[in-house]
Amino acid sequence: MSTHEEHEITIPGRPAPQPPRQDEPHDGQAPPPKSDQSGPEVRTPTGARSADPQTAVAQQGTRLTTAQGTRLVDTDHSLKAGPRGPVLLQDHHLREKITHFDHERIPERVVHARGAAAHGRFESNGRGASITRAGFLQGGVVTRVFVRFSTVLGSRGSADTVRDTRGFATKFYTEEGVYDLVGNNIPVFFIQDAIKFPDVIHAGKPHPDREIPQAQSAHDTFWDFVSLHTEAQHHTIWNMSDRGIPRSYRMMQGFGIHTFRLIDDSGATVLVKFHWRPRLGTHGVTWEEAQLLAGKDPDFHRRDLADAIESGAFPQWDLAVQVFPDTEDQMFEGIDLLDPTKIVPEELAPLEVLGTMTLDRNPVNYFAETEQVAFHPGHLVPGIDVTNDPLLQGRLFSYIDTQITRLGGPNFAQIPINRPHAPVNDMLRDGMHQSAVHGGVAPYQPNSLDAGCPFLAGADENAFIDVPAPIAESRVQRAAPASFDDHFSQVRLFFRSLTGIEQQHVIDAYAFELGKCYEQTIKERQLRHLANIDESLCTAVAARLGLPTPAASIALDDVEPSPALRMVGEEWPVDGRVVGIVATAETDEAELTAVREQLHAAGVLPLVIAPTGGMIGGVPVQRSFDTATSVELDGVVVLTATDDRRAVAVLEEAFRHAKAIGIAEGAAEVLSSVGFDTDADGVSTGSASAVVAALLDLLPRHRVWQRAVDVPA
C-alpha cells in the first residue's frame, strides 16, 4: 500500500532525520527518531500502558554521563600518572566504558541469526469469528504486530541473498496476551520429528573443521544428510526453486508449517494451516543476481524492507487459513495433517483470508528490537491451540529454552519489544534481569495473605483452556505412523506444477549445489532420489554433473499439477519497485522531473543514476556510475545517451536478468553500445513518457519471462 504525497518524492536511506552541521556541534538537542521509525509501544514490565512517550526510554539529557548519571568532562583520555605515565586502576569511567563494551554482544541465534524486522498492524476482517474465539481475529479488531524475517543457516554477518529458507515470525500484541506465529517462507520442513533438528542444522552449518562454507547448503554434509533422509526431499526442492532466493521480504510468502487447532465460543474445533500471502506477489531474484548482490550489497533484503517503509510503500500480507475438519485420524484427502513435510494443495482446500497485515514503521534500534525479540510457538491465546505434530511438539520446548540462554534468564518477556499489551500477574519472581517490582507477600496459589489474588479466570473471562482432545490407546515407542512414509509424491507434485522457466531454475540449482560437493557417492545418491521425483529433472542434473542417469526405484505416478505452487504467470501491484533513471548533465531537467513524477505516481521508487554524484539541476543524483548496480533495479529508463561502460553494463545486466528497459528518444545512440537485441521483448523506445508507460505495463509481471530462457513459460 503506497502513501505517496503529491509532488513529494522521498529518497530513502537518510541516516538521520536532519542533515549534519559541517562543524562539530557543542550544544543543542539530539533529534528524535526519523518519521519512519517507531520503538515498541511503551508498557511496564507487567503489561500496563504507560503515559510516557517512546523517547522516555531513549537516552536523556544533552550532557555525557556515566551509566549512573554522573556528568563527564572528558571521554577521550584515560586517567594516567602523568601524560606519559601508566593508566590508573582508579579510572572508574574507563573501566565502566570498556567493561560494558566487552559485554555488548549476546549469543546470536543458532538458526535465523541474520534478520530484519518492522512494526505494523493487523486488521481482522471478522471471518475468523466463525472458527475461533481468539479476540484478535474478531471483526474490525486492529492489533499491533512486530515481524522478523531471517535466513536460517548464516551467521549475523552473512549475506541476505544466499539460497536458504527464510524465517517469517510474527508477534501479535493482543489484548488477551502475546500470540506468536513462527513460520518460514516454505510450507514444509526437512524433518518430521524434532529430535532430528540438531542433525539437519549441524549438516547445513559450515563444516566444523574449517568453518566453511558460510550461509549455504552447497556442500557435502548437507547433501549427505538430505540424501540419507528422504523425508527431506520435499523441503529441499522448494529450496532449489526460486523461493530459495526471494526478490524481497516484501514479496515472500509465509507459512505456519504445522497444523494448528482453532476453538470457537462453543468449544467446537477445526484444524488449520496458516498462510501469509504478500499483496505484491511472490517473486525471486535470478541466481546471477543473488551472487552479484552478495558482493555488491549483502544487506539487500534488509535495506529493501527499510527503504520501502521509509518511502511510504508499506508492504502488506493477507493472513489466510486452510480449514479442515478435526477428525479423529487428523487426515484430509489422504494427507496426514500432522506430517510437517506435507502440504495440502490449495485446489483441495482453498484459502480463506482472515485479515491483512501492514508493516508501517522501522525499528529505532536493531539490538533492542530485532535482536532481542523472542518468539515461541507456545505463546498462544484463547482460541488457538497446538496439535500432536512431532516437530511442533519439540519446538514448544526448544524455543523457550533458547530464549533463556540468549537473553540472560527467564525474564526475557520484560524486554520492551517482548512486553505483552495485556495485564501480567504471573506469580513468577526474581531471576536475572528482573525489572518489575512486585508487591505482595504471597506469590503462590491458593493464598489468603494477598486476599487470594491473583485469582483463576473462568471460561467466561477469556481464559486459555486446553482442548480436551482424546488420546488413542497406544504404547510408548519411538516410531512414526505409516502415513509419514511417502517421501516423493508431493515432491513430484511441486516440480511438475512449476512453469518451464521455474523448472529450469530448479535444475540449475541442483546442478550447482551438487557440483560443489566433493564426494561422488553423495552426488550419485541424490541423483537416485531425483530419479524418483521426475525423469527429466534427474536426466538434466546428471548431464550437468557428468554422471549417468539412474533409473527410478519407485513408480512415478501421474499427479495433477497445482497452479498455486507457481510463482510465474500473474500480475501484481508495483508498489515499492525500483526503477533506475540513467541521466547526465545534458539531460533536460524538466523531462527528468516529469519521469520521476510519472514513476512515483504509480507507486514506483525512482532512482536517478548519473556519471557523478551531486545534482542535475534541482534533482538529486542517488547513484553515480561508480555505485550503480542493475541488481537493485526492477527496470531501467535511459534519458540521455552515454557510452560509459559502467552505465552500459547496467543495461546489459538488466537485459540478461529479463528486466524491462526503456530507451527515450534522446538516448537512442546508446542502442549501438549495448550487446543485446534492441528489438527484443521488454525493450521499448520512444518519448520519455511513452517508454515509462511501457515499462509500467511490464513491471506487474516481475520480469519479461519470455526473454529469460528458451523454455516453455
Catalytic positions? 112, 184
Which residues is 355 bridged to in the sheet? 124, 319
CA distances from 349 to 478, 492, 546 (A): 32, 19, 42
Say how far apart CA 436 and CA 459 lie, in whole Å: 28
The residue to which cell 505517496 is assigned: 4
- Across the beta sheet with 578-582, what order do the strands follow? 623-624, 605-610, 578-582, 635-638, 660-664, 683-686
CA distances from 217 to 264, 490, 533, 574, 649 (A): 43, 22, 20, 32, 30
CA distances from 99 to 67, 105, 394, 405, 615 (A): 12, 12, 37, 21, 46
Say how far apart CA 36 and CA 308 lie, in whole Å: 10
Cell of 153: 543457516
Do you find a cis peptide bond into 446, omega within 30 degrees of 0? Answer: yes
Say how far apart CA 660 and CA 283 lie, in whole Å: 15
Q: Contact at 8 Å (CB) between 359 and 276?
A: no
Cβ neighbours of 372 (radius 10 Å): 19
For residue 635, the surrounding DSSP H or E stretch is strand 635-638
Say how far apart CA 635 and CA 569 lie, in whole Å: 18
CA distances from 378 to 112, 185, 199, 395, 666 (A): 18, 20, 23, 8, 61
Q: Contact at 8 Å (CB) between 669 and 642?
A: no
The residue type at 276: W
Of 651, 698, 689, which is closest to residue 670 (Cα–Cα)?
651
Say how far apart CA 455 and CA 449 lie, in whole Å: 13
Say how far apart CA 663 and CA 210 lie, in whole Å: 49
Longest dimension (CA), the chain: 89
Cell of 243: 523461493
The residue type at 469: A
Of 413, 412, 411, 415, which is closest to residue 431 (Cα–Cα)?
411
Q: Contact at 8 Å (CB) between 144 and 361?
A: no
Say how far apart CA 63 and CA 42 lie, in whole Å: 24
- Helices 535-545 & 520-531 angle (0-180, nearest 10): 160
